[in-house]
Structure 1
Amino acid sequence: MRRLWFMLLALLLAGAAQAYEVRDDTGFVTTFDTPPARVVSVLPSLTETVCALGACARLVGVDRYSNWPPEVKKLPQLGGGLDPNVEAIAALRPDVVLTATSSRAGVRLRALGLKVVQLEPKSGADMRRVVTTLGRLLQVGGAEQLLRGIEAGVQAAAQALPPAARGQRVYFEVSPAPHAAGRASFIGELLDALGLVNIIGPEQGPFPRINPEAVVRAAPDFIMASRNSLAEMARRPGWGNLPALREGRVCAFDGDERDIMVRPGPRMAEAARLIARCVAGHLAPGAKAGGAGGGGKP
């Protein structure tokens, strides 16, 4: 009888030892007894990272914007990142819900008894921390390997650029309000890693809303944005005279390319390649103005 008691005690202690904690970007600590098998992600960059870590099969629902890798398109769509369908998420009985820190749904989801981990990368350091945190949350290896691969891909893109690219001044627009990518953002850090100069300084924050006149005064060498944004830029006061627009030194990203550019995660090396290919295409001998119809398609 005593032996049976000790065996039961050992099993209980072993089970307790398997429990682990995860601290999210809000400082909230969640305890897991076992790795989550049913995961809902309502932020595209988190969805992509879960899949890049080899745990795509655990996803049971995503937000309406998660579209990569292609298999996640088959999953139930549960609203947007800021306005997820809380009832639909709860109906899926997930072991954990991954959402942005800026989403207010976390409180409601926790009130329903769900475990919520809120993560929102805005800088390169944030991205590296989020990848590591998700690796721990999912109890999978490969986080460090994934990060090394991203870093190596960015370095390769930088090395592929011609010397004339270094120091080229760039304005990168993330939305037509206009909101720009500042030097403190992961996009700004990509530009810096490629040897390009962002005209939006770090003091303005990661993604500031800017005064359009500031861009006219700065007269960047390159303008980068989605095709839709670029189509209306010339109508802004003074922008029609910007040399970058007038001479066609633009990188116009289509919808799929824009997704790659604005999601801090496993495809950041691909984002660096898109930027590098566009810039290199304009600086190549004999390059024609306006020849870069798409980011990465010079």
Structure 2
Amino acid sequence: MSWRGLCLAALLGWVGTAFAASLSDDRGVEISLPQPPQRIVSLLPSLTETVCALQACDRLVGVDTFSNWPASVQSLPHLGGLEDANVEAIVALKPDLVLLAKSARVTPRLEGLGLRVMALEPKSMKDVERVLGKLGQALGREAQAQALWRQLDTGVDHVAAALPAGARGKRVYFEVNNGPYAAGEASFIGETLLRLGAKNIVPAALGPFPKLNPEFVVRADPQLIMVGDRNASALSGRPGWQAIEAVRTNRVCVFSAAEGDVLVRPGPRMVEAAQIMANCLKDRFK
């Protein structure tokens, strides 16, 4: 082979291996990626949204039951969720990467069938930044991931700065599901509330999304309750809750299903989530 041919061969070899990445997922498992994945199955809505925010939506070939944003993913095969993922349908799509939550039950089966699995489950803002970085690296979109995080972090600051002083310092209870399950200070929702100047009644020591005794909420006496429309009707019927200041003064923000999706998914719509919460605070404490 000529000198020019050797140089060309060496260059092509370098290009072919330049991407090769090894990432540690949330289980501590090392994931080797010889090239950016082109056929991705995402089984967690926040991961689906992050892939699309990194301009790789066209690489998705299947998503979980609840992934519905952006609109383009609604036409993809929906493959179940944490407890009921359709293994046969996932395998039939021949993905080169499956993204799912650390808590997903299907992980061992997929790995046993030879699929490359990456478990990522953000619960805090720091997690959002970390997961964004890992997906950026996996997709060959590192610069975009870094720029997107800066945009999100700055965006939340701007929303907080625009909040009137009279809407700050209020005791807030954010219910994520019946149980009741709450968003504590340690969750990304709780961190957003803190940045908005609110006082979350659920301390970080109880974990990101603890199940509470309803009496705990009565004793904490929040001035404002944030809840999704699917759970709102049950509030006033809980023993003792009629005495809660937020219930007595009708300072309860009931979010639509679409708003709820934005609020409970730790990902690229966190500025929009902050704005929804800020609007609630402004409207209830004019």
TM range (shorter): over 0.9
Give the whole-Å Cα distance in 2 for the aligned partners of 1:247 and 1:13. 67
- 1:54-133 to 2 correspondences below 5 Å: 54-133=55-134
Matched, 1:50 2:51: yes
| Unpaired stretches in structure 2, ≥5 consecutive residues | none
Q: 2:157 maps to what in 1? A: 155
2:187 aligned to which of 178, 181, 185: 185
Q: Which residue of 1 aligns with 2:218?
A: 216
Unaligned runs of 5+ in 1: 285-298
CA contact (8 A) 2:38 2:59 kept: yes
Deviation at 1:149, TM superposition (A): 1.5
Amino acid at match of 1:193: R
Query: Mean Cα displacement is larger for which, 148-157 or 214-223?
Result: 148-157
Give the secondary-structure state (helix, strand or coil) at the position aligned to 1:67: coil
Equivalent pair of 2:19/2:36 in contact (CA under 8 Å): no
C-alpha distance in structure 2 between counterparts of 1:220 and 1:266, whole Å: 29
Specify the SS of the correspondent of 2:282. Answer: helix
* 1:283 and 2:270 matched: no
Whether the 8 Å contact between 1:82 and 1:102 is mirrored in structure 2 is no
Give the fraction of aligned pairs with identical amino acids, expressed as a percent: 51
1:30 to partner: Cα distance: 1.3
Alignment of 1:128-207 (within 5 A): 128-140=129-141, 141-207=143-209
Aligned length: 284
Separation (CA, whole Å) in 2 of partners of 1:179 and 1:251? 17
Report the equivalent of 1:232. Answer: 234
> Aligned residue for 1:251?
253
Between the aligned partners of 1:254 and 1:112, the Cα distance in structure 2 is 40
Give SS of 1:233's match.
coil
- CA separation in 2, counterparts of 1:14 and 1:185? 41
Q: Is the 8 A contact 1:83 1:103 kept in 2?
A: no
Report deviation, 1:69: 0.5
Deviations 1:95-138 (A, max 9, x none): 10000000121111111111111000001111110000000000
Amino acid at match of 2:65: R
Cα separation, 1, equivalents of 2:228 and 2:15:
53
Rounded to whole Å, the distance in 2 between the matches of 1:163 and 1:226 is: 26
Read off the aligned partner of 2:103 and give its amino acid letter: S
Cα-Cα RMSD: 1.5
TM-score (norm 2): 0.95
Normalized against structure 1, the TM-score is what?
A: 0.91
